[in-house]
Chain A
Amino acid sequence: MASIQARDLRYTYRGATAPSVSGADLDIEDGEAHALLGASGAGKTTLLNLLAGLFFPDSGQLKLNGEDVSERSGRERNIAQVFQFPVLYPAMNVRENLAFPLRARGWRKANALARVKEVATLLDVTALLHQRVQRLSLFEKQLVAIGRALVRPDVSVVLLDEPLTAVEPSIKWRLRAALKTVQRELGLTMVYVTHDQVEALTFADRISMLMDGRILQTGSPQRLYEQPHTAVVATFIGSPGMNLVSAQVRDQWFVVAGQLLAPAPGVSDGVCQIGFRPEWAHVRVDRESDEQFALPVNLTGWRAMGAVGNRTDALLTLDHGGETLFVHQSGDEPPPPQCRLYIDTARMVAYRNGVLLARPTGNDAA
């Protein structure tokens, strides 16, 4: 297994006007599960192909375990890859598929089969070893494809390009769980490309969020969720994304709709945006206390999302002076049309020109 350091990687497709990857820095530790998250066209697959040695960067440097491999092929980098759909050798059975990367590298048959048995046990596909791959379900095929990527014990990095795309939604979690288990047990360095934030948030130790060929933020799932560096990351992550409310800073206080919301120590005066997750706020009809900040809002929608305990978890759609806000709140009945919104000021974040305003909240370490 290997660590990855990428410095200022750039890549432009032949004939394209804009670069697909423009200045990506990436630091992935040995044994880390890392997700590249972004919408289609964000450059995450291009970045993966640069790691895979399928493309070579126009400029920048890529190191594996401190060794410069920018100009080397994927085979020389000793990469393994899992693709969007199961890529298997159609004329071989499962055992032969799993053994192929070892046999192609000159392993002796007995050793290769012993290793295949280990990997098959790990992925729980021992019962399938004698089957022809045509007979397998899509899920099983992808499991075997993952097995083929893991079978070489000396592989440096396992790259996964949206590996759950082809699998039925109802069993995606099984494959994800299997993947996570082997990643942990074998201490594999994995880079996982996905546009699905739930996949990224549940699979990865750390996530790099990409947009327009740039990495906007790299951090733990919790950090990307709670302290997104930019308003773009804040609204991309979460379903629905983070609420942003127009605000101002005046005399080191955040001011929303003429009311003092929270202190803003060290922040210069000017416009900004207050950000809070749908579950970091709640709606009430009456004032809790005269001192506490409350934003007057109109209820425009109420949708039951499921149950928490014996209460309905609902998503409320609110209007505040033309800005649409979402709030998660439990309750069997929608609140009345006019109500007040209370924001958890200890967790809220603020952005100026789309960039996170540093707040001395204490948990700012990376």
Chain B
Amino acid sequence: MQRRADNRAWFAVAPVVVVVAFTAIVPLMTVVNYSVQDIFDVDTRLFIGFDFYRETLRDPRFAQALLRQLAFSALVLAIEIPLGIWIARALVRNQGKSATGFLILLSVPLLVPWNVVGTIWQIYARPDIGLLGAAVTALGIPYNYASNVLSAWVTLLAMDVWHWTSLVALLSFAGLSAISPAYYQAATLDGANAWQTFRHVELPHLKAVLTIAVLLRLMDSLMIYTEPFVLTGGGPGNSTTFLSQYLTTMAVGQFDLGPAAAFSVLYFLMILLLCWLFYTSVMRGGDDG
């Protein structure tokens, strides 16, 4: 009797199960379904197992896009995290009314829609009429993001840094503001220099927010699509074609749904793996922060 009454409580969970099933599990399983079958038309399909996965992994264009993607994400993190911390420290040092103003200014790029960001930079960096592009060209530096690979990468990185560094800065600012002045006083009296104060006081206290910042930037940069699509369209050549754009070309452009599905599953697993690796390696270090 008692046990039966308990089991009825499962019905209370049913709505959530249904919602999650239709928003996450069913679409994901659909993709998995496509990735293991070769479909010719509605009635003609052939189960082919992992053939599409093998094909994807052997595809040199996939490998190239993956390398570009990893390089892009690594560069983005390497620039945005230190820069964001540096900005946040400068803001905390000069607290007062100006800090609030700067914080508001900083967060403006976060509010701009992604395709607008791409459009802004597409115009801003144009060598003929763009303020930045024309200025750089006037200085005699060969610069054209539409034809030069280096220019395209630099512009893309600058755009992402402009767009997202403020997220890191805002999170770090919150983390730094939470450090009691006593820690700084103690470090000063202990004879710590500026680097030691940063290394032993600020950085450990920022661990939690920086973990979040790195995770967000890692995930987002691995999934970047809109901005390079608007700015360079993946070019020149395929030099700025990252995973998501390659995937879109495959699925929407060439209508290769099977290989694209296999690609999607691999892409998803890769992001999951990278984030998991990062998170567990950070958290294994201890529960401080």
B-contacting residues of A (Cβ < 8 Å)? 52, 54, 73-75, 79-81, 83-85, 87, 89-92, 100-101, 104-105, 132-134, 148
Contact = CB atoms under 8 A, between A and B. Distances in A.
A92 B200 contact: yes
B189 A83 contact: no
B288 interface: yes
Interface in B252-287: 286-287
B185 interface: yes
Contacts of A92: 200
B183 A87 contact: yes
Interface string B189-211: 11111001000110111000000
A80 B204 contact: no
A24 B52 CA distance: 83
Contacts of B193: 104
B182 interface: yes
Given A89-B204, A91-B200, A75 B289 contact: no
Contacts, number: 59
B200 A100 contact: yes
Given A87-B183, A90-B204, A104-B192, 20 more contacts: A74-B185, A74-B188, A75-B189, A80-B189, A81-B185, A81-B189, A87-B180, A87-B182, A87-B186, A90-B289, A91-B288, A92-B200, A100-B190, A100-B200, A101-B189, A104-B196, A105-B191, A134-B286, A134-B287, A148-B186
B252 to A, nearest CB: 48
A84 B185 CA distance: 13
A91 B288 CA distance: 7
Interface of B (DSSP majority class): helix
A87 B190 CA distance: 12
A92 B183 CA distance: 14
Nearest to B185: A54
A1 B186 CA distance: 19
Indicate the size class of the contact surface on chain B: 20 to 34
Contacts of B188: 73-75
A303 B185 CA distance: 46
B42 to A, nearest CB: 60
26 contacts: A52-B189, A54-B185, A73-B188, A74-B185, A74-B188, A74-B189, A75-B188, A79-B189, A80-B189, A81-B185, A81-B189, A87-B182, A89-B201, A90-B289, A91-B203, A100-B192, A101-B189, A101-B190, A101-B191, A104-B191, A104-B196, A105-B191, A132-B288, A133-B288, A134-B286, A134-B287
B186 A81 contact: yes
Q: Top 8 A-B pairs ranked by shortest CB distance?
A: A104-B191, A91-B204, A101-B190, A90-B204, A83-B182, A90-B288, A87-B186, A89-B200
A83 B190 CA distance: 13
Interface of B: 180, 182-183, 185-186, 188-193, 196, 200-201, 203-205, 286-289
Contacts of B200: 89, 91-92, 100
Contacts of A81: 185-186, 189
B185 A148 contact: no
Nearest to A133: B288
B127 to A, nearest CB: 48
Contacts of B201: 89
A148 B204 CA distance: 19
B224 to A, nearest CB: 33
B205 to A, nearest CB: 7
Contacts of A134: 286-288
A104 B196 CA distance: 9
Contacts of B190: 100-101, 104, 148
Contacts of B286: 91, 132, 134
A177 B288 CA distance: 30
Nearest to A155: B189
Contacts of A84: 182
B30 to A, nearest CB: 45
A100 B183 CA distance: 14
A93 B288 CA distance: 12
* Highest count of chain B CB atoms <10 Å: which of A73, A79, A81, A91: A91
Of listed B180, B192, B203, B287, residue having the most chain A CB within 10 A:
B192
A41 to B, nearest CB: 19
A105 B193 CA distance: 10
B200 to A, nearest CB: 5
A144 to B, nearest CB: 12
A80 B193 CA distance: 16
Nearest to A82: B186
A75 B205 contact: no
A75 B182 CA distance: 14
Contacts of A132: 286, 288
A92 B190 CA distance: 14
Contacts of B287: 134
A365 to B, nearest CB: 38
